[in-house]
Structure 1
Amino acid sequence: MIRTVVADDHPLVRAGLVTLLGTEPDIEVVGTAADGEEAVEVARRLRPDVVCMDIRMPRLDGIAATRALAGPDVEDPIPVLVLTTFEIDEYLFGALEAGASGFQLKDADPAVLVRAVRSVAAGNGTLDDTLTKRVVGEVLSRRRIQPVTAARGTDLLTARELDIVLLLAQGMSNEEIAEALVLEVSTVKSHLARILPKLGVRSRLQAAVWAYQNRIVDLPT
């Protein structure tokens, strides 16, 4: 069972997400929050598998709340799925830097939102297809998230690990990477467990951004 916390300051949106997720047989909404401070308190107390986090909230915004739960200084991070509107702004990229495991548009198809929660809970991360190019392009223009330089990174990665990073940056799941490289899914997971600390990142999403940022792969056109 995937235990989730829903944090959104709009009662109707919050109730809608609770209803949507609560109807899934493998998802349980164990808590809700109406602002960032409450989201941090509830998540730390309940230790859910995923926090669905709105960005614009009172008292403590979604970026600060995400950093408190999943930031680089957090010893035992809680995965955060950021839910955002179509208009990309500073908050979205700040949330990525704060340690978010995924981004999803609020107006996406309900089935897509549910898949996003499952993906983050499984440790795969997720990035809405509509946002991919804009998010990666913005990160490239800023060049903020560079835990390892490109040269150093490719030195640290084995040839097989680099293959996996390239496919990861294309948005492939563990199963798709395994099929493409003729590997067992468990082998792909083992490689990823070694890749993330080598690059100094915590999530698949940040590893993919690292690959684009350091010109390991080109920004899609």
Structure 2
Amino acid sequence: MTDRGDNPRDNPVFRNEINTVLQHYLETSQALEAATKEATALRKQLEETELDLAAMSEREKATMKQIQVANKHATEADKRTNEANKRADHATQRAHRADKRADEANERADEANKRADAVSALNVGLAQTHLGSHPTSPVSTRAPSMTAPWTTAQPQTPLGITNPHRSPFVNAPDFSPRAVSGASSGRSSGPSYGALFTEGTSPGKRRRTDSSSESPTRQADASAVPFL
């Protein structure tokens, strides 16, 4: 064959086999190139995904911090709300106590008014009794009034003022509730109708002033001036 100058490349069978191998190599090379491109694209996508995951992780951390701050603010708001509720409860209790004290003060004022009314009625009754016990006096001929008998300039009044030259207000009784309550408790500061009952006497049996305890001058003055 060599002698005849035969070349293997000139052999069509060999040439076909070489072409077939080259064709398969070309296809394989193209497939490898495409796979390489796909791998490169996938690698880029993976890098982008990793970057996205990192950004998401940062956003998640920031969100967690915001949630923690919001929880802290909510806790502080709850504490302030509880304190405000406590203060409101204390204020309500103080208001109830103030209302109770006001009611008690009103009750005490009503009782004081009732006592004052009773004392006024007692004073009116005693004044009428004094006016009726002196029929010779011009005062007894008048109709009973709220005017106290010691305000008239009489030489002798039912309270034992026997000196006409003395002021008719010297032994004027004190009608105030304090004087009456003081007389009933033994702390009377002066003559008053409440003192009539300090020794167990009643309005029908009043304690009279002993004329022997008066000075001779007052007795002489009383004997010198007749009843009007």
Is the TM value for this pair above 0.5?
Answer: no
Higher helix share: 2
Higher strand share: 1
Which of 1 and 2 has greater Rg? 2
- Larger RCO (CA within 8 A; separation ≥ 6): 1
Q: TM-score, normalised by structure 2?
A: 0.24
